[in-house]
Structure 1
C-alpha cells in the first residue's frame, strides 16, 4: 500500500484483509472525482449515485457498488476504501450507489423495511444500463459488489430472477437486472433466522430488516425467530440464498475472519464466512462458480475481489 495513507484505527487484521480482498489502495491519497456525481436514479433524495468512467476507446464494463451499514447508515465512498476504484486502471468503470435506508422505509410504513434498499439496488442496476450509450458502457458486462448489508443487496440482485418489466411505461424499469458477476465483502447470504441460528449459534443479525426492534440485539433476534413463520414469505423473497440456482452468474465472497468449528460461536457472527460457505454449497450443486476466501480457508481461485471482477468483466468473450 505504498503511496497511500491508511485510515487511522485500522488493525493489522483489517489491513491484511483489505489488501487480500482487493483493497490495495490507489496511488493517490484522495479518490478521483466522479465523472458524474449525485446522479438521481429515482425521486427520493437518497436515490443518487456517483459514476466514474474508465478511460477507453470502446464501451467499458462497469461495477455497481452498494455500501454497508446494515441498511441503516454508511456512505458511497466505501467503494474507494475497499479498493474498487482501482478497477478504473483495469478499464472497468465504477458506480457507487446511495439508497433508501431502513429508517426511510419505516417512516413510509413500508413492510418489510428491507424492501426499499433491495429494490433500490435493482433499480440502480437498471438505471446504469439505461445510461449505457451516454456513458460508454457495455450493457453485457455489468457486475455488482458491496459490503455487509450492501453485499447482501448485491447478491440478491445477482441471484434473483430478472426484475425487468417489459410492459412498464418507465424505460428504466424495462431494463434487465441480470448481471455478469458479483464480488462481495462480508456478505449475509440469508435473512432466515432459523438457518442463521443453526449455522451460527451467536447470530443476532436480521430483525431490523423486517421491522423487529427493541431491547438488546440478542432479545430482538429471539423475537424475530419466534415471528419467523409469519414473516417467512418476505424472508424468502429477500434472502439471496433462496434465489440461488442454475444459470446464475459467478460469485466471489471475501470475509475477514476465520471459521470456528461447527456449533461454536463465531468471532464476528454478522459477517461470518459460514454465510459464504453455505452459498457456495448451493451454487456448487448446480455448477455455478463460487469462490469464498477467508483467513485459513482454501485460498484457491482469484486473490481478490478486484482480480475476480477484472477477470470476469474483461474476458475476451462477453459474459452471457
Structure 2
C-alpha cells in the first residue's frame, strides 16, 4: 500500500512539473534538502513578485497565472483560498524532489523543520491514505499523546501540515505526537474521514506498550476540517467494540482534551445560513461530501458528526482558536469572505455557550479575548501533564 501511495504522489507531482505550475524553472533551485536555501526561497519570492498583485504576501486564485490556477486547489493545502509563502515553499520542494528522483515529497516547513519522526507513514488501515507519522517524546515512563488531524476541506491537505513549532514544544514537554492522513470526500464521502481518524486513534492506543504511550492521556487537535474531526472524536460516545475480533477496534476512542483552530462545530448548512454573516448557498456538491442530499439521511449524518449535537456533560475540555472577533465585518473580497465565513468564530461562540450550560470546560480564544491559555501546547501541557507546572 505504501509503495502504491508514493507512486500516486509522484505521478501527481510529475503532472504539475509538466504543466509548469511555477513561473521559474525547477532547475533554478539549489539545495533540495533546505527549504530556506537561496534557490528555493528565490523561486518563491519571484513567484510572489509575479502574481501577488495586491501585495498582501499571498496569491489568490484570481491573481494566479493560468498554469498555477489549474492546480490551485492542490497547492492550497489549508483550503483558505490563498497560496501563502509556506504553501509555495512546499510546492517548490515537491518539484525539486521529483526532479531529483526522490520517492517522497519533502515535509512541509511550518515554523522550521520537523524533527525526525520515530515512525514514518505507519499504516493504520487498508487505504493508501491510511498512514500516520509518530514522534516519541523522550521519557522512561509512558508519555501522553497528541494526535494532529490536518485540514483542507476534506478534499486536500496532509499530515505534513503539522506546525513544526507546536511539534517541538509538545515533544519538549514530554508529549508524544502523531500526525494522520485520511481519505478525502473525492475518494469516499463523509463520514469516511472521521472513521479513518477514529481508526488511527485506536491504532495508536494499540501501540501503547511498543511506542511508550500512556493511552489514558490522549488529545486531538487540528484546524478547519481537522478541527471538525477532532471534535467528533472528543464528543462522540465511546466507539470501541469490545467484541470485535480486531484488537485495534477494541481500543477506546475517548479523549482527555481537544484543541481546534477555525473549527466548524456543526455541518448543518441551514445553521450556517442562519448564524454566519453573509453566508449564502453551499459551494460544494453535497452529494459528494455526504453521499446524499436526502433530508433524513443528511440530518442523521449531521447529527452524528457535529459537536453541537454530540456534546454532553461527560465530555472533555476544549481550547478553540478563531481569527476574527464576533462582531467583525465580512471582508469585501469574495473569496476571502468565503474562507472567513466557513471558519467564523460564531461556531466557537455557540459551542462554548452550550458547554457552559452543561458545565463542561470550554476555552475560546480570538483577537481581543481573555483566555487562561495562550496556545495549544500550553493547554495540552495543563491537561495532559497537570503536575508539570
Specify whether residues 31 and 236 from structure 1 end up closer, same or farther in structure 2 by C-alpha distance, changes over 3 A only: same
What CA distance in whole angstroms lies between the structure 1 residues aligned with 2:248 and 2:280? 36
Aligned to 2:343: 271
Aligned to 2:260: 184
Query: Which residue, 223, 242, 245 being the options, matches 1:166?
Result: 242
- The runs of 5 or more residues in structure 2 that have no matched partner are 1-34, 49-54, 59-79, 81-108, 332-336
Aligned to 1:305: 376
1:258 counterpart = 2:333: no
Specify whether residues 41 and 230 from structure 1 end up closer, same or farther in structure 2 by C-alpha distance, changes over 3 A only: closer
Aligned to 2:156: 73
- Structure number with higher relative contact order (C-alpha < 8 Å, ≥ 6 residues apart): 1
Q: CA deviation at 1:11?
A: 6.3
Aligned to 1:293: 365
Specify whether residues 12 and 143 from structure 1 end up closer, same or farther in structure 2 by C-alpha distance, changes over 3 A only: farther
RMSD: 3.0
1:141 counterpart = 2:244: no
Structure of greater Rg: 2
1:118 counterpart = 2:194: yes
What CA distance in whole angstroms lies between the structure 2 residues aligned with 1:179 and 1:207? 32
Q: CA deviation at 1:193?
A: 1.1
Aligned to 1:153: 229
- The runs of 5 or more residues in structure 1 that have no matched partner are 15-25, 106-112, 214-222
Query: Which residue, 29, 54, 58 being the options, matches 2:137?
Result: 54
Report the TM-score, using the length of structure 2 for normalisation: 0.66
- Tell me if the contact between 1:85 and 1:94 (Cα under 8 Å) persists in the aligned partners: no
What CA distance in whole angstroms lies between the structure 1 residues aligned with 2:180 and 2:113? 19
What CA distance in whole angstroms lies between the structure 2 residues aligned with 1:89 and 1:209? 43
Aligned to 2:117: 34
Aligned to 2:25: none
Aligned to 2:96: none
Q: CA deviation at 1:202?
A: 2.7
Q: CA deviation at 1:212?
A: 5.1
Q: CA deviation at 1:241?
A: 1.5
- Tell me if the contact between 2:121 and 2:133 (Cα under 8 Å) persists in the aligned partners: yes
What CA distance in whole angstroms lies between the structure 2 residues aligned with 1:130 and 1:302? 31
- Tell me if the contact between 1:63 and 1:143 (Cα under 8 Å) persists in the aligned partners: yes
Q: CA deviation at 1:201?
A: 3.6
What CA distance in whole angstroms lies between the structure 1 residues aligned with 2:162 and 2:376? 12
Give 1 or 2: higher helix fraction. 2
What CA distance in whole angstroms lies between the structure 1 residues aligned with 2:365 and 2:111? 27
The count of aligned residue pairs is: 282
What CA distance in whole angstroms lies between the structure 2 residues aligned with 1:97 and 1:205? 31
What CA distance in whole angstroms lies between the structure 1 residues aligned with 2:273 and 2:264? 13
Query: Which residue, 298, 312, 330 being the options, matches 1:245?
Result: 312
